[in-house]
Amino acid sequence: MTSGQKTTIEFNDHVVRQFMLAAVLWGAVGMLVGVLIATQLNFWQANLGQSWLSFGRLRPLHTNAVIFAFVGNMMFAGIYYSTQRLVKARLASDFLSALHFWGWQLIIVAAAITLPLGLTRGKEYAELIWPINIAVAVIWVVFGANFFWTLARRHEKSLYVAVWFYIATIVTVAMLYIVNHLSIPTSLLHSYPVFGGVQDGLVQWWYGHNAVAFFLTTPILGIMYYFLPKAAERPVYSYRLSVIHFWSLVFLYIWAGPHHLLNTALPNWLQLLGMTFSLMLWAPSWGGMLNGLLTLRGAWGKLRTDPVIKFFAAGVTFYGMATFEGPLLSIKAVNALGHYTDWIIGHVHAGALGWNGFMAAGMFYWLVPRLWNRPLHSTGLANLHFWLGLVGILLYVAAMWASGITQGLMLNATAENGTILKYPNFIETLNAIRPLMLLRVVGGTLYLGGFLLMAWNIWRSIAGARAVNGTMEVYVEPPAPADRLGLGGTFLNAPVVFSTLGLAAACVWLFTSGWLNLLGLVATILTVLLAIGHFESRGTRWGEWYDRLLINALPFTLLTFLSVVVGGLIQIIPMLTIDRRIQTEDRLAAVYTPLELAGRDIYVREGCYNCHSQMIRTLVPDVMRYGDYSRLGESLWDHPYQWGSKRSGPDLARIGGKYNHAWHYDHLRDPRSISTGSNMPAYTWLLEHATDYAALPAKIRVQRMLGVPFPSWSPAMIDTLARDQAKQIARELREQGRYTDPDREVVALTAYLQSLGKKWEATPR
């Protein structure tokens, strides 16, 4: 094997250092914004009366910064560092590496400017406007090209498990990001997503859930598989566990998106798939945790001395905790309690701070001495960081559990023999959790404090130090054509054939009725039995084939892509191809008036969906509190959908007509004048800014292109309609003692709010 020519390669560790330091910087910024908006939930004045500091605009900045800026940069550093060493090749192109780094930072800066200005697409973790979307897609392709080009030039033929996870990350994120960001621009800064209503909701959570899966989980698992055994100096616990949990994870994860829409108007078959696939994900996720924790067997002594091992052990434990909580929350009955509450917020922070944040810290502390050839400035400070972070995250998560369960129980509580709500006023449930929301600020601040200690520690370690690039001696081997799998070798083998047959048979069972259904069941059972029999007798052949697959990067990538794509296709294609007008239950939405549409875009701009849902679930307490449960047809023409995912305030699906215009006017100007103890920001700027009527013709033209049945109004007609309705509302406001110019944004927003729950006509079921 070592007959080839020997050469020394120098790794591109420059870009690793850049990404690592960027991750530290953006991590601090993202967490600081998090602490600020958590403070605003307790003290609404903390937005200083500025629109660009208000909760609805900064929460998207916080989530995007932590996901894409902090974890993104950390992931790129980890992937680039480990991949070069695992495949024994320098990154293929210094130019692409630099373009990747600077392009990504430019995107982050653009996001940090546009989001506070209210430039948004109105979909969670997909808020960035369309020009930035294109930049993200391009830079992601640059990343992919650089990565796969490096694989093509590798000197280590066989791909290690970390690289499998990196491959899954790159292809899946590209697919998810592009599909969920398909939109048609109405201007340079604004667009509407091509999907509407339930389609948009389904695509959004297919993306949103798998952003968690393939942006926050799979790359970090890959990083775990490299850095954890390196730091522990122990072999990985089980290779076959790696194989099983990798393939089950990438196949199952993609199906679980609908668990974000349980008990909503989403068709039941999708809810069932979302719930059951989430439960099936439990074991595959824990496979990753086991392989991490059990690799530490024999190295537990280092837990006392080495902060790197401390962070990794705690990070993997948090991963295990979060991936147990996830399936639990996906059970419809548990979800009925926990959804829309702080429980979910606690759950994601166990993942983001506990798993991502701690894995990042462990990796950074391990990398610094190796990238700058100088020991860490202070191990004591790193240990202090660990304990501050751990106490911080535990406080945070515990407070959010208590808060979410308390509020969930109060919202669902009934009195007088179940005939009325025990706490009819939403504000009572908010005031009950105020101390817990304050505790969360304390936890988050501690965590941020620890993170800043790390930044300081790293800075002291590297200041004045000389950066060093790793080198490795490799043997250049001539290519061996016998190793190539080819198309036949990729697909015509027992594991792939049995998986394909089994999946096809299972789909027949899932989606047909009558004798075909029975046939599907028999075929599924038969395939499983045959596969087991074949594996028992010819198991070594399966292993040999897999060893060969590992030296064929392209076939491996292809099979990974097919595994992830199938779940999305089965769930989304039926919802996209069906005529939208059939998928309405018993109600069909009417289109908005031009003024209402303008108001809706203000609602999206201000990020109202960050605290208010527009989805009354098929649950008795929801119906008692907010009115008749929402039907699919009611949000049919909503681009983007605004069902929401969190209720810091009440649901708004049927708010229209419940109060008069003066109520809304007062409430937007000063929420506490109506609702004592409310933590909603005062939207005083809506009383000052003029509604953008001029943008309406382009917006309505795009909506018509998307199939929304607006009449073919001329631009002048649209302008007249909007102004007339605004004058009408201003007149009614005047009668109620509120004086406003008709062209103020508050009038447009009031028009939209008053239309909610009113814009539909009954259709036969």
Partner 1 sequence: MNPVPPSPPEDPGIKVRPHTYDGIQEYDQRLPNWWLYTLYGTIAFAVIYWFAWQIARIIPSDGESVDAALARVAAAKMAGSIDVTDNTKFWEMSRNPVFVDAGAKTYSSLCSACHLASLRGKSENPAAVGPDLTDTAWIHGGLPAEVYATAAKGVLVKGMPAWEPVLGQKKTAEVVAFILSHHRPDEAATAETPK
510 is a contact residue toward partner 1 (CB under 8 A):
yes
As given in the structure block, the two tokens for residue 754 are 């008053």
Among 99, 137, 279, 570, binds partner 1 (CB under 8 A): 279
CA-to-CA dists, residue 310 to 210, 305, 618, angstroms: 28, 8, 45
Three-state DSSP state, 280: helix
CA-wise closest residue to 612 among 588, 648, 574, 558:
648
Stretch of 46-54, 173-181, 284-292, 689-697 lying at the interface with partner 1 (CB under 8 A): 284-292
35 is a contact residue toward partner 1 (CB under 8 A):
no
Among 115, 139, 421, 458, binds partner 1 (CB under 8 A): 421
Size of the site for partner 1 (CB under 8 A): 79
334 is a contact residue toward partner 1 (CB under 8 A):
no
CA-to-CA dists, residue 367 to 30, 69, 165, 231, 467, angstroms: 22, 19, 20, 10, 12
Cβ closer to partner 1: 58 or 474? 474
Q: Residue 15: left (phi > 0), alpha (psi -120 to 50), or beta?
A: alpha
625 is a contact residue toward partner 1 (CB under 8 A):
yes
CB 636 within 8 A of CB 84: no
Cβ closer to partner 1: 464 or 514? 514
Task: Tell me which residues in 644-663 interact with partner 1 (CB under 8 A).
Answer: 657-663
Task: Tell me which residues in 681-710 interact with partner 1 (CB under 8 A).
Answer: none
Report the C-alpha gap between 710 and 594 in whole angstroms: 10
539 is a contact residue toward partner 1 (CB under 8 A):
no
CA-to-CA dists, residue 713 to 516, 707, 721, angstroms: 50, 15, 10
Cβ closer to partner 1: 1 or 482? 1
Among 375, 380, 418, 707, binds partner 1 (CB under 8 A): 418
Stretch of 53-61, 117-125, 478-486, 735-743 lying at the interface with partner 1 (CB under 8 A): 735-743
391 is a contact residue toward partner 1 (CB under 8 A):
no
Stretch of 495-503, 530-538, 598-606, 671-679 lying at the interface with partner 1 (CB under 8 A): 671-679
Length of the chain: 765
Report the C-alpha gap between 415 and 422 in whole angstroms: 5
Q: How far is the CB of 621 from partner 1 (least distance, A)?
A: 10
The CB density around residue 621, as the number of other CB atoms within 10 Å, is 19
User: By rule CB under 8 A, what string of x and - marks binding of each residue 302-321 to partner 1?
Assistant: x-------------------
Q: How far is the CB of 693 from partner 1 (least distance, A)?
A: 27
Q: How far is the CB of 261 from partner 1 (least distance, A)?
A: 12
Burial (CB count <10 Å: 0-12, 13-18, 19+), residue 714:
exposed
666 is a contact residue toward partner 1 (CB under 8 A):
yes
First-to-last CA distance in the chain?
70
Task: Tell me which residues in 52-111 interact with partner 1 (CB under 8 A).
Answer: 82, 85-86, 88
Task: Tell me which residues in 206-265 interact with partner 1 (CB under 8 A).
Answer: 226, 229-230, 235-242, 244, 248, 263
Residue 371 DSSP label: H
Among 343, 355, 629, 685, binds partner 1 (CB under 8 A): 629
Report the amino acid identity of residue 343: W
Among 562, 565, 623, 721, binds partner 1 (CB under 8 A): 623
Among 2, 3, 5, 416, binds partner 1 (CB under 8 A): 416
Among 112, 178, 465, 624, binds partner 1 (CB under 8 A): 624
Among 513, 540, 712, 714, binds partner 1 (CB under 8 A): 513
Chain position carrying tokens 């940069």: 73
What is the distance of C-alpha 605 from the center of its chain?
A: 20
CB 443 within 8 A of CB 381: no
Task: Tell me which residues in 739-758 interact with partner 1 (CB under 8 A).
Answer: none
Q: How far is the CB of 761 from partner 1 (least distance, A)?
A: 19
Task: Tell me which residues in 137-166 interact with partner 1 (CB under 8 A).
Answer: 156, 158, 160-161
Among 4, 49, 375, 424, binds partner 1 (CB under 8 A): 424
- CA dihedral of 210, 211, 217, 218, whole degrees rounded to 10: 70
User: Which helix (H) or strand (E) element contains residue 587?
Assistant: strand 587-589
As given in the structure block, the two tokens for residue 584 are 């309405």
Cβ closer to partner 1: 332 or 704? 332
Among 109, 117, 138, 298, binds partner 1 (CB under 8 A): 298
Q: How far is the CB of 659 from partner 1 (least distance, A)?
A: 4
Burial (CB count <10 Å: 0-12, 13-18, 19+), residue 746:
buried
- Which residues are 421's β-sheet partners? 414
Among 76, 246, 251, 277, binds partner 1 (CB under 8 A): 277
670 is a contact residue toward partner 1 (CB under 8 A):
no
619 is a contact residue toward partner 1 (CB under 8 A):
yes
Q: How far is the CB of 551 from partner 1 (least distance, A)?
A: 11
Cβ closer to partner 1: 25 or 427? 427
CA-wise closest residue to 641 among 574, 575, 698:
575
C-alpha angle 142-559-528 in degrees, rounded to nearest 5: 155
Cβ closer to partner 1: 261 or 388? 261
Three-state DSSP state, 379: helix
The CB density around residue 540, as the number of other CB atoms within 10 Å, is 9
The CB density around residue 168, as the number of other CB atoms within 10 Å, is 28
- CA dihedral of 314, 315, 319, 320, whole degrees rounded to 10: -20
